[in-house]
Chains A and B, each alone.
Chain A
Amino acid sequence: MLRKFYASSLALMVVTGLAAQPALAETPDQVLASIRGEAEKATPGFQGFSAARGEKFFKATHGNELSCTSCHTENPAAQGKHAKTGKAVQPLAPSASAERFSDPAKVEKWFKRNCNDVLGRVCTAQEKGDVLAYLLTIQK
């Protein structure tokens, strides 16, 4: 009797726990792991990601006047500002805004858009992984 009660309340807790999660939420580490999977397939002789390379990539311009810092600032833990519209952009570092890198579809969408704006092409898995490795080293 008691056991039955336990089992059903446990089931209920599991169900409500699931419902409270946003759809397909992941941690930044899980997102990094799936980018790694992509990079292993796409990069011959893949050597892993480098936060130092990610930082350089993030702060450099790549052929036009924009860099990632144009909207996300030199400090990814700080609030940014859209270079064209002036709208506030929440910090990019997961340590400073909890929702960052928790929705893989959103991450993909913005990498595609922002890389197109800054580099005139999509970023490689290597570049995306390096950037995320860098952002994960940023402390608030």
Chain B
Amino acid sequence: MLNYQNFPHVLAVAVLAMGVAMSAAQADENRGGKYGGEDRGKPLQPAQANARWQEECSGCHIAYAPGLLPAESWRRAMDGLGKHFGTDASLTAGENKEITDFLVNNASNRWRAPTAPLRITESGWFKRKHDSREVPPDVWKNPLVKSPANCQACHTQAERGDFSERNIKLPK
């Protein structure tokens, strides 16, 4: 049985709920503003690392920590390993699934933008943290650096997912 007397209450609750939802969204919007919504996640703890990822993704470069990119980036990367930055990095279907699951489950949880770059070095947070105020432009030209993707040229503990300032040493 519908009680019309209660109707304004229901309406008030509904409006209130909408208001709460909207301000939460707004707060998200503000938080998501960091690096244009392209923010990295928390560092991976060594105990969480997947052995197959460690083995298979460290043959040609360091195994880049999953929190550096959003889940969709990892799905795209794992979908195109046959042509991976000009090289064949293909895996068996079973290996691919195990590694994709690991990367997606540990991807950045602070990424708000609807973007999914294939390169860490093209993301908002990376560009900001490595702009000319942080890294003098001629450092990038040093042959010891070779590519911005060569994290361990400057981050001595990059292989362990540690990018803290105390472990940065620019090559001379």
Residues of B within 8 A of A82 (CB): 60-61
Closest partner residue, chain B, to A116 (CB atom): B88
Structural contact, A86 and B88, CB atoms closer than 8 A: no
Distance of A86 Cα from B85 Cα, bound (Å): 14
In the complex, A82 Cα to B58 Cα: how many Å?
12
The total of chain A residues at the interface (CB under 8 A) is 11
A114 nearest CB neighbor, chain B only: B88
Q: Which residue on B lies nearest to A110, using beta carbons?
A: B59
List B residues 49-82 near A (Cβ within 8 Å). 60-62
Q: A86 to B149, alpha carbons, bound, how many Å?
A: 11
Contact A86 B146 (CB under 8 A): yes
Does A21 belong to the interface (CB within 8 Å)? no
CB distance A87 to B61 under 8 Å? yes
| Cross-chain contact of A85 among B60, B90, B91 (Cβ < 8 A) | B60
Q: Which residues of B contact A109 (CB under 8 A)?
A: 90-92
C-alpha spacing A113/B156, complex, angstroms? 29
Q: Are B88 and A85 in contact (CB under 8 A)?
A: no
Contacting pair A84 B86 (CB below 8 A): yes
- Determine the chain B residues whose CB is within 8 A of the CB of A56 once the complex forms: none
Whether A55 sits at the interface, judged by CB under 8 Å, is no
- For residue B147, CB closer than 8 A to chain A, the reply is yes
A85 touches B61 (CB 8 A): yes
Q: Note all chain B residues with C-beta closer than 8 A to A87.
A: 60-62
Chain A residues with CB under 8 Å of B90's CB are: 109, 112-113
Q: Does A40 sit within 8 A of B, measured CB to CB?
A: no
Contact of A84 among B62, B85, B88 (CB under 8 A): B85
- Cα–Cα, bound, A84→B149 (Å): 11
CA separation between A116 and B147, bound complex, in Å? 23
Interface residues, chain B, with chain A CB atoms under 8 Å away: 60-62, 85-92, 146-147, 149-150
20 contacts between A and B (CB under 8 A): A82-B61, A84-B60, A84-B85, A84-B86, A85-B61, A85-B147, A85-B149, A85-B150, A86-B146, A86-B147, A86-B150, A87-B60, A87-B62, A109-B92, A112-B88, A113-B87, A113-B88, A113-B89, A114-B88, A117-B87
